[in-house]
C-alpha cells in the first residue's frame, strides 16, 4: 500500500518539457549574457586619447619591461657592525623576537660565542632556527660578519671586526 501524499513528495517542480527548456535557458544562457554585459560595462569607459607628451608617457608605461636589474656600487665604503645591526639585525635581536638572543645579553650569547666567530657568521649568512639567511640582502657578507662581531662583542665576545677584502679578493668573488 502506498500513501498518495508520499508519491507527490517525490516529484520535482519541473513537470513538462516546456518547463525543462525554460529552466535550461534561465540557468545557462541568461548568466552568459549577464557576464558579457558586465565585461562590456567595465571595459567601455570614457578614455580620452592621450596627446603630445602624455601619449609618449602612456606608450612608455605600456612598453616598460617587466623586470629590472639593479647594479650596486661595489666601491661604496663598507658599513660598520653597528650600522648593519641597526639596519638588519635589530628587528629581532633588540627585542628577542622568535627566540633570538637579545643584544648585550651575555648569558644568551655565551654558548653561541663559544662556537667561534666563523660558526656565528655561517649561521647568520645561511640562517638558523627562526632566523632567515642574511646573505644576498642589502649587506654583503663582510658587512654581515661585521654585524655579528658587533653583537657578539656587546655580549662579551672578543672578535675583531673584519676588514674589507683586498682588491684581488673582490675580483675573485
Residue 159: how many CB atoms within 10 A of its CB?
Answer: 19
Q: Which is more confidently placed, 42 or 62? A: 42
Indicate yes or no: pTM above 0.75.
no
User: Can you give the pLDDT at residue 171?
Assistant: 45
- Top pLDDT among 24 and 73 is at 24
Domains of the chain: 81-172 (1.10.760.10)
* Predicted confidence band of residue 4 (pLDDT cuts 50, 70, 90): low
| Torsion-angle region of 98 (φ positive above 0: left; ψ -120 to 50: alpha; else: beta) | left
Per-residue pLDDT tens over the stretch 135-172: 556 778 888 888 888 888 888 877 888 887 765 554 44
Amino acid at each position: 500500500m502506498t500513501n498518495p501524499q508520499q508519491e507527490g513528495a517525490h516529484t520535482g517542480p519541473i513537470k513538462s518539457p516546456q518547463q525543462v527548456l525554460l529552466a535550461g535557458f534561465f540557468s545557462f544562457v541568461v548568466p552568459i549574457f549577464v557576464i558579457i554585459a558586465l565585461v562590456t560595462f567595465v571595459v567601455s569607459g570614457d578614455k580620452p586619447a592621450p596627446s603630445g607628451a602624455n601619449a609618449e608617457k602612456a606608450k612608455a608605461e605600456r612598453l616598460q619591461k617587466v623586470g629590472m636589474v639593479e647594479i650596486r656600487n661595489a666601491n661604496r665604503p663598507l658599513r660598520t657592525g653597528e650600522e648593519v645591526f641597526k639596519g638588519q639585525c635589530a628587528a629581532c635581536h633588540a627585542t628577542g623576537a622568535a627566540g633570538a638572543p637579545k643584544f648585550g645579553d651575555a648569558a644568551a650569547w655565551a654558548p653561541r660565542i663559544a662556537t667561534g666567530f666563523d660558526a656565528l657568521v655561517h649561521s647568520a649568512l645561511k640562517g638558523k632556527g627562526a632566523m632567515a639567511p642574511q646573505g644576498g640582502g642589502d649587506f654583503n657578507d663582510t658587512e654581515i660578519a661585521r654585524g655579528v662581531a658587533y653583537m657578539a662583542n656587546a655580549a662579551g665576545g672578543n672578535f675583531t671586526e673584519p676588514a674589507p677584502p683586498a682588491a684581488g679578493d673582490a675580483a675573485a668573488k
